[in-house]
Chain A
């Protein structure tokens, strides 16, 4: 009994440590005053102004657009690459995998500067294109690293069995391999999306006057003062993500239950 009390306290402490900053942020998004330290009254003022602030909204839509496009492209590229790497010889595979790790262990600032120099050398104007290419370079390795284990876990014989049962290689690929590695692809997609969403350093070097992302906009407010509209925006993003997570979890749990029921009825 005592143990469970202690462990509950510990979990509570960890949760507090993790969520206290977000809680403070959300609370102060309802503050009437512009201050982050002095509470003067409850108001929805910052939420209203957020929807007037074209600069924030524009950079938010830039960020979302780039995150969606680059994570989708990176997932496509990464999945294809993972399948290719998987069917390589042992030596070639370990060599290519090491190269794959490179963008992850490379300090972001080096990646950013070198991409900027590369784009300048090739004469590509900075903008959406360069941002998407840059985000793809650091997202693709995460997709490969997520898909590879799924390929390794997969039973090789199911693919052969599908061929034996009359599938063309393409059909076997889309009906057997893809569903098998789907969880890996999805988690790769999610990871690239989040990494792309909150990347600051690389975007800082390759963005231009028309494609400023949200993290850069927030950073540029630091000379004056970060506007409480950012608190409001962060609170909204947090709530949206929370709701999505809850829906996904509830849906997953329900499906699992149904599956169990189905199993039971088979038995």
Chain B
């Protein structure tokens, strides 16, 4: 028994050693600003994307722990997977979030519906670290509701072992040389977005004709497409199962790390540029503490740690300057300005456009689908035959039993 206890104690000691915070505590931040809420037992609820903050793994900074230590404010951190999930949670009224990090089009929708509180920039001095161009955006025209956290572009990730030519246009995703080697987005907004861009339209087009043309284009692409996927792109591209796929620049870096044959290109027709930005929703109880958290996230070291963890691009100038030379000059994360000329942000689309897009998307996915058209009648016939056989068998058995009597 004693030996078992000793073993347990040793194990616990090992784990507590493992759990020790790995990063330095002193970041040289303004103590008088951050200590305003010390010993007041305040907590804030942060709602962020999954895997979207530096969490102390691999000797990185544990951002939330650092903030708690510095300010004495408790951070309740939870995560979501889609903008729509976040929207529903806020709309249902049961949520009590103080800080949320939605994407551009969702921010513009929330501003329109009065779901965000204007920020008091007096309390967020570190906002001066942000590149001025990222504070002047379409989704938040007044620049009053959000502070950008990350940005990125959509481009083409391809396997150089399978693609010889220069990749610089969306057109290559329609090239029948790569039949069964092309992956495509499985969400309509992104799929239509790149098709509209390829055709030279705006990716926020609300014109029915343009959308129908894009739908025809997507139908033409369908025989070439191996699969419509999102997350699986990682495994398929890393494993060399497909040659080309559209995806987000930051994730492309992760894939290239795992498989050096992969490369990334930003198409010349222009593409989608997306932002995720920190906002304070109307459910906020601790606005000043929430603004302190946003300020902390804008501090150079913190923003740099987050960006290194996430792999997306940073809108934070001070953090950008702390990054490795190799990352700063990487055209995947920070493409040349000329490539960004044609990029567009998503804006919230009107309801009828969303409906049209959804119905066109369903149409695309179900066109000449051999599988579904023959399967239904076959199953029906099989079901009928099975039930007839069963009835006949039962009748026969009953007749035999009667005869036995």
Contacts and interface: CB of A to CB of B under 8 A. Distances in A.
Contacts of A38: 238-239, 258-259
Interface residues of B, number: 43
B18 A217 contact: no
Given A209-B45, A222-B81, A225-B231, A52 B95 contact: no
A4 interface: no
A170 to B, nearest CB: 38
Q: Is the interface of A mostly helix, strand, loop or mixed?
A: loop
A219 B81 contact: yes
B51 A221 contact: yes
A33 B235 CA distance: 12
Contact of B97 (A36, A209, A221, A227): A209
Interface string A25-61: 0000000011111101000000011011111001000
B52 interface: yes
A54 B234 CA distance: 25
B269 to A, nearest CB: 26
Contacts of B97: 209
Interface string A165-176: 000000000000
Interface stretch (A119-127, A156-164, A191-199): A119-127
A54 B64 contact: yes
Given A208-B94, A209-B47, A224-B50, A52 B57 contact: yes
Interface string B70-83: 00000011111110
A249 interface: no
Interface in B299-328: 310
A262 interface: no
Interface string A191-229: 000000000000000111110100011011111111101
B18 A48 contact: yes
A209 B284 CA distance: 12
A206 B93 CA distance: 11
A74 interface: no
Given A222-B50, A224-B49, A224-B52, A212 B57 contact: no
Nearest to B310: A224
A221 B18 contact: no
A116 interface: yes
B210 interface: no
Which of A40, A120, A208: most chain B CB closer than 10 A?
A: A208
Interface residues of A, number: 38
A209 B96 contact: yes
Which of A37, A120, A207: most chain B CB closer than 10 A?
A: A37
A119 B94 CA distance: 8
Interface in B62-102: 62, 64-65, 76-82, 92-97
Nearest to B56: A52
Contacts of A210: 45, 76, 78
A217 B254 contact: no
A103 B235 CA distance: 39
Given A220-B50, A225-B251, A55 B19 contact: no
B283 to A, nearest CB: 10
Which of A49, A51, A217, A223: most chain B CB closer than 10 A?
A: A223
17 contacts: A33-B258, A37-B238, A40-B258, A52-B55, A53-B55, A54-B77, A55-B55, A119-B94, A126-B96, A208-B78, A209-B45, A209-B78, A221-B51, A222-B231, A223-B51, A223-B81, A225-B51
Given A209-B96, A221-B79, A225-B234, 16 more contacts: A37-B239, A40-B258, A51-B15, A52-B22, A52-B56, A54-B55, A58-B77, A116-B92, A120-B93, A126-B94, A126-B96, A206-B94, A216-B79, A222-B50, A223-B82, A229-B57
**6 closest pairs, A vs B, by CB?**
A209-B45, A220-B50, A220-B79, A221-B50, A37-B235, A37-B239
